[in-house]
Amino acid sequence: MASSSSSFVTLAVLVLLFGSTSAQLSTNFYSSSCPRLFPTVKSTVQSAISKEARMGASLLRLFFHDCFVNGCDGSILLDDTSSFTGEKNAAPNKNSVRGFDVVDNIKSAVEKVCPGVVSCADILAITARDSVEILGGPSWNVKLGRRDARTASQAAANNSIPPPTSNLNQLISNFSAVGLSTRDMVALSGSHTIGQARCTSFRPRIYNETNIDPSFARTRQGNCPRKSGSGDNNLAPLDLQTPTAFDNNYFKNLLNRRGLLHSDQQLFNGGSTDSIVRTYNNNPRTFLSDFVAGMIKMGDISPLTGSKGEIRKNCRRVN
Protein backbone atom coordinates (compact mmCIF):
# COMPACT_ATOMS: atom_id res chain seq x y z
CA MET A 1 0.00 0.00 0.00
CA ALA A 2 2.81 2.37 0.97
CA SER A 3 4.65 1.74 -2.30
CA SER A 4 1.54 2.31 -4.44
CA SER A 5 0.82 5.51 -2.52
CA SER A 6 4.37 6.73 -3.10
CA SER A 7 4.09 5.81 -6.79
CA PHE A 8 0.96 7.91 -7.03
CA VAL A 9 2.72 10.88 -5.41
CA THR A 10 5.66 10.46 -7.81
CA LEU A 11 3.26 10.37 -10.76
CA ALA A 12 1.49 13.48 -9.51
CA VAL A 13 4.81 15.31 -9.22
CA LEU A 14 5.78 14.27 -12.75
CA VAL A 15 2.45 15.52 -14.09
CA LEU A 16 3.01 18.82 -12.30
CA LEU A 17 6.52 19.13 -13.68
CA PHE A 18 6.00 18.03 -17.25
CA GLY A 19 2.30 18.02 -18.04
CA SER A 20 1.37 21.52 -17.09
CA THR A 21 2.88 23.84 -19.69
CA SER A 22 1.03 23.62 -22.99
CA ALA A 23 -1.67 21.57 -21.22
CA GLN A 24 -2.65 24.76 -19.38
CA LEU A 25 -3.12 26.59 -22.65
CA SER A 26 -6.60 26.26 -24.09
CA THR A 27 -8.59 27.82 -26.90
CA ASN A 28 -11.37 28.86 -24.50
CA PHE A 29 -9.15 30.25 -21.73
CA TYR A 30 -10.84 33.69 -21.70
CA SER A 31 -14.34 32.58 -22.76
CA SER A 32 -15.87 33.65 -19.45
CA SER A 33 -13.28 36.14 -18.15
CA CYS A 34 -13.08 38.19 -21.38
CA PRO A 35 -15.84 37.16 -23.83
CA ARG A 36 -15.29 40.21 -26.08
CA LEU A 37 -11.56 39.58 -26.44
CA PHE A 38 -11.45 38.30 -30.04
CA PRO A 39 -13.59 40.97 -31.72
CA THR A 40 -11.79 43.67 -29.71
CA VAL A 41 -8.36 42.52 -30.91
CA LYS A 42 -9.44 41.89 -34.48
CA SER A 43 -11.04 45.30 -35.02
CA THR A 44 -7.83 47.02 -33.90
CA VAL A 45 -5.66 44.78 -36.09
CA GLN A 46 -7.99 45.38 -39.03
CA SER A 47 -7.73 49.14 -38.54
CA ALA A 48 -3.92 49.02 -38.44
CA ILE A 49 -3.67 46.84 -41.58
CA SER A 50 -6.16 49.07 -43.40
CA LYS A 51 -3.81 51.99 -42.79
CA GLU A 52 -0.71 50.01 -43.80
CA ALA A 53 -0.93 46.51 -45.29
CA ARG A 54 2.68 45.77 -44.30
CA MET A 55 1.68 45.95 -40.64
CA GLY A 56 0.15 42.46 -40.82
CA ALA A 57 3.54 40.95 -41.58
CA SER A 58 5.16 43.07 -38.86
CA LEU A 59 2.70 41.83 -36.23
CA LEU A 60 3.17 38.20 -37.30
CA ARG A 61 6.94 38.66 -37.04
CA LEU A 62 6.63 40.06 -33.51
CA PHE A 63 5.09 36.77 -32.38
CA PHE A 64 7.84 34.73 -34.08
CA HIS A 65 10.62 36.84 -32.56
CA ASP A 66 8.94 36.65 -29.15
CA CYS A 67 8.49 32.87 -29.11
CA PHE A 68 12.05 32.09 -30.27
CA VAL A 69 13.57 33.94 -27.28
CA ASN A 70 12.84 32.13 -24.00
CA GLY A 71 9.36 31.18 -25.18
CA CYS A 72 6.12 33.02 -26.00
CA ASP A 73 6.15 35.33 -22.99
CA GLY A 74 5.76 38.87 -24.35
CA SER A 75 9.38 39.68 -23.47
CA ILE A 76 10.03 41.29 -26.87
CA LEU A 77 7.62 44.08 -25.92
CA LEU A 78 9.57 45.21 -22.84
CA ASP A 79 11.55 48.44 -22.99
CA ASP A 80 15.05 48.47 -21.48
CA THR A 81 15.29 49.19 -17.75
CA SER A 82 18.08 49.76 -15.24
CA SER A 83 17.94 46.06 -14.34
CA PHE A 84 17.95 44.47 -17.82
CA THR A 85 18.71 45.22 -21.45
CA GLY A 86 15.74 43.99 -23.45
CA GLU A 87 15.28 42.46 -26.87
CA LYS A 88 14.17 45.47 -28.92
CA ASN A 89 17.72 46.54 -29.75
CA ALA A 90 19.14 43.06 -30.32
CA ALA A 91 20.73 42.63 -33.76
CA PRO A 92 17.74 40.79 -35.33
CA ASN A 93 15.31 43.42 -34.03
CA LYS A 94 16.99 46.83 -34.09
CA ASN A 95 15.54 49.16 -36.76
CA SER A 96 13.61 46.14 -37.98
CA VAL A 97 10.96 44.75 -35.64
CA ARG A 98 7.96 47.08 -35.54
CA GLY A 99 4.30 47.27 -34.59
CA PHE A 100 4.77 48.10 -30.92
CA ASP A 101 2.37 51.06 -31.12
CA VAL A 102 -0.30 48.80 -32.61
CA VAL A 103 0.17 46.32 -29.76
CA ASP A 104 -0.20 49.22 -27.31
CA ASN A 105 -3.50 50.16 -28.99
CA ILE A 106 -4.74 46.57 -28.84
CA LYS A 107 -3.78 46.26 -25.18
CA SER A 108 -5.59 49.54 -24.36
CA ALA A 109 -8.72 48.35 -26.15
CA VAL A 110 -8.62 44.99 -24.35
CA GLU A 111 -8.05 46.63 -20.97
CA LYS A 112 -11.22 48.66 -21.49
CA VAL A 113 -13.38 45.56 -21.91
CA CYS A 114 -11.64 43.32 -19.33
CA PRO A 115 -8.95 45.07 -17.24
CA GLY A 116 -6.08 43.05 -15.83
CA VAL A 117 -7.14 39.76 -17.44
CA VAL A 118 -5.39 39.20 -20.78
CA SER A 119 -1.62 38.91 -21.09
CA CYS A 120 0.48 40.73 -23.67
CA ALA A 121 1.91 37.33 -24.69
CA ASP A 122 -1.59 36.12 -25.59
CA ILE A 123 -2.35 39.37 -27.41
CA LEU A 124 0.67 38.69 -29.67
CA ALA A 125 -0.63 35.18 -30.40
CA ILE A 126 -4.12 36.39 -31.32
CA THR A 127 -2.76 39.32 -33.32
CA ALA A 128 -0.55 37.01 -35.40
CA ARG A 129 -3.54 34.83 -36.29
CA ASP A 130 -5.74 37.82 -37.13
CA SER A 131 -3.03 39.37 -39.33
CA VAL A 132 -2.71 36.21 -41.40
CA GLU A 133 -6.47 35.86 -41.79
CA ILE A 134 -7.03 39.52 -42.71
CA LEU A 135 -4.40 39.25 -45.46
CA GLY A 136 -6.20 36.28 -47.00
CA GLY A 137 -4.55 33.41 -45.17
CA PRO A 138 -6.00 30.68 -42.96
CA SER A 139 -7.53 31.08 -39.53
CA TRP A 140 -7.16 28.78 -36.53
CA ASN A 141 -8.19 28.49 -32.90
CA VAL A 142 -5.44 30.10 -30.83
CA LYS A 143 -4.40 28.38 -27.62
CA LEU A 144 -4.29 30.89 -24.76
CA GLY A 145 -3.37 31.17 -21.10
CA ARG A 146 0.20 32.47 -21.36
CA ARG A 147 1.45 34.95 -18.79
CA ASP A 148 3.97 37.75 -19.27
CA ALA A 149 7.68 37.63 -18.49
CA ARG A 150 9.09 40.06 -15.92
CA THR A 151 12.41 40.33 -17.71
CA ALA A 152 13.98 40.17 -21.18
CA SER A 153 17.38 39.30 -22.60
CA GLN A 154 19.16 41.00 -25.48
CA ALA A 155 21.81 38.26 -25.47
CA ALA A 156 19.19 35.54 -25.81
CA ALA A 157 17.60 37.39 -28.75
CA ASN A 158 20.99 37.72 -30.46
CA ASN A 159 21.60 33.99 -30.05
CA SER A 160 18.15 32.53 -30.74
CA ILE A 161 16.67 34.29 -33.77
CA PRO A 162 18.02 32.94 -37.08
CA PRO A 163 19.60 35.73 -39.16
CA PRO A 164 18.97 36.15 -42.92
CA THR A 165 22.52 34.91 -43.55
CA SER A 166 21.67 31.45 -42.18
CA ASN A 167 22.39 28.36 -44.24
CA LEU A 168 20.01 25.39 -44.31
CA ASN A 169 21.72 23.43 -41.52
CA GLN A 170 21.68 26.48 -39.27
CA LEU A 171 17.98 27.05 -39.93
CA ILE A 172 17.15 23.41 -39.19
CA SER A 173 19.20 23.61 -35.99
CA ASN A 174 17.64 26.91 -34.85
CA PHE A 175 14.12 25.56 -35.25
CA SER A 176 14.97 22.18 -33.76
CA ALA A 177 16.31 23.93 -30.65
CA VAL A 178 12.78 25.15 -29.88
CA GLY A 179 11.05 21.89 -30.77
CA LEU A 180 10.09 22.68 -34.37
CA SER A 181 10.73 20.21 -37.18
CA THR A 182 12.31 20.86 -40.55
CA ARG A 183 8.85 20.74 -42.14
CA ASP A 184 7.60 23.28 -39.56
CA MET A 185 10.56 25.48 -40.48
CA VAL A 186 9.77 25.45 -44.19
CA ALA A 187 6.06 26.03 -43.59
CA LEU A 188 6.66 28.91 -41.17
CA SER A 189 9.20 30.44 -43.59
CA GLY A 190 6.21 30.72 -45.91
CA SER A 191 5.18 33.71 -43.82
CA HIS A 192 7.62 35.55 -46.09
CA THR A 193 4.77 35.59 -48.58
CA ILE A 194 3.98 38.92 -46.89
CA GLY A 195 6.14 41.75 -45.61
CA GLN A 196 9.29 43.56 -46.64
CA ALA A 197 12.99 43.43 -45.89
CA ARG A 198 15.65 46.12 -45.62
CA CYS A 199 18.47 46.43 -48.14
CA THR A 200 21.01 45.47 -45.45
CA SER A 201 19.32 42.07 -45.15
CA PHE A 202 19.56 41.12 -48.83
CA ARG A 203 22.46 43.21 -50.27
CA PRO A 204 25.02 40.35 -50.18
CA ARG A 205 22.57 38.03 -51.95
CA ILE A 206 21.72 40.30 -54.88
CA TYR A 207 25.34 41.28 -55.56
CA ASN A 208 27.39 38.20 -54.62
CA GLU A 209 25.32 35.05 -55.05
CA THR A 210 24.90 32.95 -58.18
CA ASN A 211 21.77 30.93 -57.30
CA ILE A 212 19.61 33.94 -58.12
CA ASP A 213 17.57 34.88 -61.18
CA PRO A 214 19.65 37.62 -62.91
CA SER A 215 16.68 39.81 -63.83
CA PHE A 216 15.37 39.59 -60.27
CA ALA A 217 18.81 40.56 -58.93
CA ARG A 218 18.94 43.59 -61.25
CA THR A 219 15.45 44.68 -60.17
CA ARG A 220 16.43 44.56 -56.51
CA GLN A 221 19.77 46.30 -57.14
CA GLY A 222 17.79 49.28 -58.47
CA ASN A 223 16.69 50.10 -54.93
CA CYS A 224 19.61 48.69 -52.95
CA PRO A 225 23.03 50.21 -53.79
CA ARG A 226 26.09 47.97 -53.51
CA LYS A 227 27.88 50.30 -51.10
CA SER A 228 27.17 49.65 -47.43
CA GLY A 229 25.72 52.71 -45.72
CA SER A 230 23.89 53.79 -48.85
CA GLY A 231 20.17 52.98 -48.91
CA ASP A 232 20.51 50.51 -46.04
CA ASN A 233 16.89 50.98 -44.96
CA ASN A 234 15.37 50.86 -48.46
CA LEU A 235 12.65 48.22 -48.54
CA ALA A 236 11.81 45.42 -50.96
CA PRO A 237 8.91 42.94 -50.78
CA LEU A 238 9.83 39.43 -49.66
CA ASP A 239 7.32 38.17 -52.24
CA LEU A 240 7.58 40.11 -55.48
CA GLN A 241 4.26 38.83 -56.85
CA THR A 242 1.69 39.39 -54.08
CA PRO A 243 3.46 41.16 -51.19
CA THR A 244 0.29 41.85 -49.18
CA ALA A 245 -1.58 38.59 -49.85
CA PHE A 246 -1.00 35.47 -47.75
CA ASP A 247 -0.59 32.72 -50.38
CA ASN A 248 1.97 30.18 -51.59
CA ASN A 249 3.75 32.45 -54.09
CA TYR A 250 6.79 32.52 -51.78
CA PHE A 251 7.48 28.92 -52.82
CA LYS A 252 6.96 29.68 -56.50
CA ASN A 253 9.60 32.40 -56.10
CA LEU A 254 12.05 29.91 -54.58
CA LEU A 255 11.60 27.52 -57.51
CA ASN A 256 12.47 30.43 -59.83
CA ARG A 257 15.52 31.43 -57.72
CA ARG A 258 13.76 34.60 -56.60
CA GLY A 259 14.10 34.22 -52.86
CA LEU A 260 15.00 37.67 -51.52
CA LEU A 261 17.03 36.60 -48.49
CA HIS A 262 19.94 34.17 -48.52
CA SER A 263 18.05 32.14 -45.88
CA ASP A 264 14.97 32.01 -48.14
CA GLN A 265 16.77 30.51 -51.14
CA GLN A 266 18.53 28.01 -48.88
CA LEU A 267 15.21 26.17 -48.66
CA PHE A 268 15.44 25.38 -52.38
CA ASN A 269 19.07 24.98 -53.27
CA GLY A 270 19.68 21.29 -53.87
CA GLY A 271 19.23 20.34 -50.22
CA SER A 272 16.94 18.23 -48.06
CA THR A 273 14.05 20.73 -48.09
CA ASP A 274 13.69 21.01 -51.90
CA SER A 275 10.91 18.41 -51.92
CA ILE A 276 8.90 20.27 -49.24
CA VAL A 277 9.15 23.51 -51.24
CA ARG A 278 7.90 21.67 -54.33
CA THR A 279 5.01 20.21 -52.33
CA TYR A 280 3.94 23.63 -51.06
CA ASN A 281 4.24 25.11 -54.53
CA ASN A 282 2.04 22.40 -56.00
CA ASN A 283 -0.41 22.09 -53.10
CA PRO A 284 -1.36 25.41 -51.49
CA ARG A 285 -3.78 23.67 -49.13
CA THR A 286 -0.98 21.50 -47.78
CA PHE A 287 1.11 24.59 -47.16
CA LEU A 288 -1.71 26.39 -45.33
CA SER A 289 -2.48 23.33 -43.23
CA ASP A 290 1.18 22.84 -42.28
CA PHE A 291 1.58 26.56 -41.60
CA VAL A 292 -1.31 26.49 -39.12
CA ALA A 293 0.14 23.40 -37.42
CA GLY A 294 3.52 25.14 -37.19
CA MET A 295 2.00 28.30 -35.72
CA ILE A 296 0.19 26.30 -33.04
CA LYS A 297 3.39 24.40 -32.19
CA MET A 298 5.38 27.64 -32.08
CA GLY A 299 2.78 29.11 -29.72
CA ASP A 300 3.44 26.20 -27.34
CA ILE A 301 7.11 27.10 -26.85
CA SER A 302 7.83 27.46 -23.10
CA PRO A 303 4.81 29.52 -22.01
CA LEU A 304 4.62 30.96 -18.53
CA THR A 305 1.43 29.58 -16.94
CA GLY A 306 -0.23 29.26 -13.56
CA SER A 307 1.41 31.62 -11.08
CA LYS A 308 4.54 32.23 -13.16
CA GLY A 309 5.07 35.70 -14.62
CA GLU A 310 2.30 38.29 -14.49
CA ILE A 311 -0.46 39.96 -16.49
CA ARG A 312 1.12 43.26 -17.51
CA LYS A 313 -0.99 46.41 -17.43
CA ASN A 314 1.32 48.04 -19.97
CA CYS A 315 3.03 45.74 -22.46
CA ARG A 316 6.19 47.88 -22.46
CA ARG A 317 6.99 47.48 -18.76
CA VAL A 318 6.56 45.13 -15.84
CA ASN A 319 3.92 45.97 -13.26
Please give the positions annotated as active site.
65
Q: Is residue 136 left, alpha or beta, with left meaning phi > 0 and alpha meaning psi from -120 to 50? A: left
SS3 letters across 142-200 = CCECCEECCCCCHHHHHHHCCCCCCCHHHHHHHHHCCCCCHHHHHHHHHHHHCCEEEHH
Q: Are 60 and 133 in contact (CB under 8 A)?
A: no
Distance, C-alpha 87 to centroid of its chain: 14
Q: Are 65 and 92 in contact (CB under 8 A)?
A: yes
Q: Which amino acid is at 315?
A: C
Distance, CA of 143 to CA of 112 (rounded, Å): 22
E strand or H helix at 236: strand 235-237
Q: Pick from 236, 270, 284, 294: which is nearest to 63 by CA? A: 294
Distance, CA of 273 to CA of 266 (rounded, Å): 9
Q: Are 37 and 114 in contact (CB under 8 A)?
A: yes
Q: How far is CA 98 from CA 65, 136, 227, in A?
A: 11, 21, 25
